[in-house]
């Protein structure tokens, strides 16, 4: 009997890592391609998680548990994807700006992006503008996601955008920003390409920025 990828999606939503991994292996054994498993199982599940998070039906713990299940499945599928040459939907560099050591929100966004088919280059916390620039040059990523939780570190977002401009790579990337004190008004003021109030919205925005959603 064919593996039900909806069942895989359901287990991702519930954060049931063991059953999700088992269904992933069964699907592969039955000849289902890794791309189909990701799109119809993992991404479908994480999309529901994202919607529930937006509606305050899920909170951070539920999202983290779902993301953990998704990552366990991705660990199995990644080598197969690389072998088959399947490309990610986009490549995003993410980091918390210089002077800010908070990472829960950043990690949540990174997990949600990965769960939706993006390759994520996570630079961690306290990331200087130069490190973002180096990463753009090294990876060819087309989106940078900047996070800040402190009002005192928000200027680091503008400093990073200005540094990208000075380095001649600003036109190569879209910059999205987020974090508790960040607003759309601030995004407009510093010349960012978009602002997301939460992790699920960040995925939607990233899709728009890479041209796979209207």
Report pLDDT for 3. Answer: 74
**pTM exceeds 0.75:** yes
Q: How sure is the predictor about 35, in pLDDT bands with cuts at 50, 70 and 90?
A: confident
pLDDT exceeds cutoff 90 at 174: yes
Residue in 46, 19, 196 with CA at minimum distance from that of residue 114: 46
Name which residue leads in pLDDT, 159 or 34. 159
CA distance 113 to 115: 5
The mean pLDDT of 197-210, rounded to a whole number, is 93
Question: Strand 143-147 to strand 174-178: parallel, antiparallel, or no bridges (unpaired)?
Answer: parallel
Residue with tokens 């090294």: 138
CB-CB contact of 8 with 41 (8 Å): yes
Q: Crossing angle for the helix pair 60-84 and 44-54, nearest 10 degrees?
A: 150
CA distance 151 to 170: 24
120-173 pLDDT, tens digit each = 999 999 999 999 999 999 999 999 999 999 999 999 999 999 999 999 999 999
Phi-psi region for residue 201, left (φ > 0), alpha (ψ -120 to 50) or beta? alpha
42-101 pLDDT, tens digit each = 999 998 998 999 899 999 899 989 999 999 999 999 888 878 777 889 999 999 999 999
Report pLDDT for 85. Answer: 76
Residues whose CB falls within 8 Å of the CB of residue 22, separated by 6 or more in sequence, listed in order:
none
Full set of structural domains in the chain with CATH:
5-84 (1.10.1240.10), 90-209 (3.40.50.280)
């Amino acid at each position: 009997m064919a593996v039900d990828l909806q069942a895989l999606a359901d287990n991702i939503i519930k954060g049931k890592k063991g059953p999700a991994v088992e269904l992933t292996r069964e699907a592969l054994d039955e000849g289902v391609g890794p791309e189909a498993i990701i799109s119809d199982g993992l991404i479908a599940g994480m999309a529901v998680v994202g919607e529930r998070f937006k509606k305050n039906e899920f909170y951070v713990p539920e999202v983290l548990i779902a993301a953990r299940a998704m990552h366990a499945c991705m660990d199995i599928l990644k080598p197969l994807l690389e072998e088959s040459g399947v490309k990610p939907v986009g490549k995003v560099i993410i980091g918390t700006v210089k002077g800010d050591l908070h990472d829960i929100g950043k990690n949540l966004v990174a997990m949600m992006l990965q769960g939706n088919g993006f390759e994520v280059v996570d630079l961690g916390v306290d990331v200087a503008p130069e490190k973002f620039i180096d990463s753009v040059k090294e990876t060819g990523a087309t989106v940078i996601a900047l996070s800040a939780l402190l009002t005192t570190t928000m200027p680091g977002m503008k400093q990073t955008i200005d540094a990208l401009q000075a380095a001649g790579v600003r036109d190569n990337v879209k910059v999205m920003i987020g974090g508790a004190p960040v607003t759309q008004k601030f995004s407009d003021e510093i010349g960012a390409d978009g602002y997301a109030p939460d992790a699920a919205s960040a995925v939607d925005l990233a899709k728009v920025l890479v041209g796979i959603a209207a």
